[in-house]
Amino acid sequence: MSKRNGERPPVPELLPAPVVDAHTHLDACGAKTAEDVRELVDRAASVGVARVVTVADDLASARWVARASTWDDRVFGAVALHPTRTSEFSDADRAELAELAAQPRIVAIGETGLDYYWDYAPHDAQQDAFRWHIELSKRVGKPLMIHDRDAHEDILRILTEQGAPSTVVFHCFSGDADFARRCVDAGYVLSFAGTVTFRNAAALREAAALVPLDQLLVETDAPFLTPHPFRGRPNEPYCAAYTLRDLAALRGMAVVDLANAVNGTADRVFQLRQVTEQPGSLR
């Protein structure tokens, strides 16, 4: 399908039950102000994507995410230094990230991990930073949100060597069925983005079909990875509805049942209800 000169995909029909976009980048979608954030989450809510986790990839983004998560009660945050940005990672950087990670509406440490596709950061620097983020996740008691690109074996090895946090989420899961089974057996949660809808992604679709519902999340990774048939056009949190429907068809499930399942998984994994109900919350 044509990219339509950067035009967003059409807004789909309302889902029969609300879901969470488990990983998006509102700042990369163009949001700067509270009004910008509200516009994006209003559009998502109009199709049943009722809450979002907006994720940082560097320190400037982490500062913004921490602020943005306080602007709207449908928005939660995750902070970390992306593996491609770890060639320089100072003690001051680590101290600031740790402080941001402790904020109540930050619900995960991410995205962190390893990226061997790009050569922006040496593998040893990435691995050192990944180990530090693992320890931060355990220290603050929040899930570890993993970026894994062409690094499956090292990701699993380091999680084993370091001792995995109680909750680990593989953001934009990219492995095959065998790797999915290994992650599921380890108790990890697998989050699927628009890539799972691509018709040339047979191995990934096979993986998505076997993940237990209590270890399954749906995300956009917006503004990237727009689902089929709008691949190449700008992505937004509302497009999680397309991925959810495609996954339901793939798994032979009613859309409402899958929506309820992944919404429940997101609530449990990120403890969203506890965050919302704590003193000083936005509600």
Distance of CA 283 to the CA centre of its chain: 24
How far apart CA 215 and CA 61 sit, in angstroms, is 28
Other Cβ atoms closer than 10 A to 273: 10
CA dihedral of residues 270, 162, 115, 54 (deg, nearest 10) = 20
Q: Which of 270, 250, 265, 242 shows the shortest CA–CA distance to 10?
A: 242
Could you tell me the two tokens for 117? 């596709």
Q: Is 171 annotated as a binding residue?
A: yes
User: What phi and psi values does residue 112 have, to the nearest 5 degrees?
Assistant: -130, 170
Its sign, for the CA torsion 148, 30, 19, 143, is positive
Q: Is 111 annotated as a binding residue?
A: yes
Its sign, for the CA torsion 202, 206, 83, 265, is positive
Q: Is 147 annotated as a binding residue?
A: yes
How far apart CA 146 and CA 134 sit, in angstroms, is 10
Residues that constitute the known binding site for a divalent metal cation: 23, 25, 111, 147, 171, 221
Residues that constitute the known binding site: 23, 25, 111, 147, 171, 221
